[in-house]
Chain A
Amino acid sequence: MRLFWSITLATLTKDIRLEWRSKDALNAMLFFSLLVVVIFVFSFDPLAEESRHIVGGLVWIAFLFAAMVALNQTWARELRNQVLDGYRVSPAPATALFVAKVLGNFLLVSLLEALMAPLFVIFYNLRVLGPAWQLIPVALLGTWALVVNGTFFAAMSLRTRSRELMLPLLLFPVSIPAVIGMVAATTSILTGDDPAHFYIVLLLTYDVVFTTACLALFETVLQAE
C-alpha cells in the first residue's frame, strides 16, 4: 500500500509539474469556459430569476466540455515518446497510474471551477436562494463523476485513430445520469424550490459505482495493444 501511494504521489507530482511548465490544458480550459460564459450572456441576457433556472445546466455543460481538453491532454503527453510503455514495463500497479491521473484531472477541473464560478455569479447576476453550502458537495461529487469516467474513457480511446472524437462519444452517454444529478441539484439549490438531497445521493452512488468499475477494469485498458 505504501508503494501504491508513493507511485500515485510521484505520478501526480510529475503531471502537475508537466502541466505547470506547458499550461496546455489549463489555458485551453479557461479560454473555452470564458467563451461559453460570455457568448451565453450576450445570446440570452437573462433576468436574475431566469438565470437561476438555466445556470445549473449552463455551468455544468461548460465544465463538461472544458474538461474534455484536460482529459485528452492527460494521456496525450504519455503517448509522446511512448512514455506509457516505460510505465507498462515497470512493476508499478496500473491502478496507481489511474488514481494519479484522476486526482490530477480533479485538481485541474476544480481549479477551473473555482476561477469560473465568480464570473458566472457576476455575469448572470446570481443570488442563491437555497442552502448555498450544498453547492460544495455537488461540485465535488459532480467533478469527480466527470473526471473518473473521463480519465478512464480517455485511456480507452488512447490508441484509436480519432481519439479526440472518441472520448466524447464514449463519455457523454455514460455521464448522462451524473449530468442530470449535477444540473438538477445545482438548479434546486439556486432556486431553493426543492431539496437537493436526492441528487446528492444519486451523485455519490454514481461516483462509488463508476470509480469501482474503472479501478477494476483499468489494468486491462492499460495493457491493451
Chain B
Amino acid sequence: MTVSAPVVPAAAGIIAIKNLVKQFGRFAALRGVDAEFEAGKFHVILGDNGAGKTTLLRALAGLAHPTRGTISILDKNPHDACREIGYMAHPSLLYDEMSGLENLRYFARLYDISGDERCKQVIRAVGLDPELSRPVGKYSQGMRQRMSLARAILHDPKILLLDEPFSNVDVHSAREMVGLLKGMRDAGKTIFVVTHQAALLEGVADEFVWMQAGQIVERTSHLAPELPNSNPPRAVEP
C-alpha cells in the first residue's frame, strides 16, 4: 500500500505574475512585472497615464498576450481561467442599440446561463431597473458604468478586473459602486480596480499597488498621507 505525499497547501497568491513584459512594437508597456496577489482582497492599481495599469489588467483578463513572462490565475493561464474572471473595461462593452436586459441576456448565453433571473438579479444589484426598456446608448454615463459592472459580475466570477469603474460617475453613484464592491470583497471575491480616484477606496481597499513606467514600484496598505493624488511614492530604476 502506498502512502500519498502530504498535500501541500496552495500558494497564497491567487494570481502570480512572473517577469511579465508586454511590448507594442518598440514600446514596452510592461517591463518585467513580478507580483503575487492574495485571494479575497481588494487591490487598487494606481499610477500616472501610461504607467501600464490598463495593459496589466488586460493581460490578466487574457486580452493582451505577454511578450515574455507568465501569468497564473488559480493555477491556470488567463484564457483557461476565463470563467473565474469578470472584466470591466473603460468602454462599456455593451451594445448601444439594445436595452440593458437584452445585453445581459446575450452575454449570459456566452456563459451558458439560461433564463432572465440572474440577469435581473445583477441589474438590481447595481441599482438599476431591469425593466428599463430604453437602449443602453441612451443611458447616462453613470448608468452605463453600472450596467457594465452588471455585465462583469453576471457569471459570478471569483476575480473582478475593473478598469476605471468610477470615471464620469457622480460622487454619490461612485460611493454606491464602492459599497457594492466592498460587499463582493467581503463575500470572498478578489477585486482589482484601476482608478485615478483612489481616495474613494481608502478604508475599503486592502492594498494599493503603485505602477510607474510599466513596473510595480510600491505596494502599500494605505494611501500615503503625503501623496493625496495617485502619483507613485518613488521611482525605481528599471
Contact = CB atoms under 8 A, between A and B. Distances in A.
B97 A10 contact: no
Interface in A1-46: 3, 6-7, 10-11, 14, 17-18, 21-22
Interface residues of B, number: 27
Interface string B40-79: 0000000000000000000001111100000000000000
A81 B93 contact: yes
A225 to B, nearest CB: 6
Interface in A70-109: 77, 80-83, 85-92
Contact of A7 (B96, B97, B102, B110): B110
B65 A6 contact: no
A81 B96 contact: yes
A17 B98 CA distance: 8
A82 B95 contact: no
A133 to B, nearest CB: 38
Contacts of B96: 80-81
A89 B111 contact: no
B61 A89 contact: yes
A135 B102 CA distance: 39
Interface of B: 61-65, 82-83, 85, 87, 89, 91-98, 102, 105-107, 109-112, 151
Interface of A: 3, 6-7, 10-11, 14, 17-18, 21-22, 77, 80-83, 85-92, 223, 225
Nearest 10 pairs of A and B residues by beta carbon: A10-B109, A86-B93, A90-B110, A92-B110, A82-B91, A81-B91, A81-B92, A89-B87, A14-B106, A21-B97
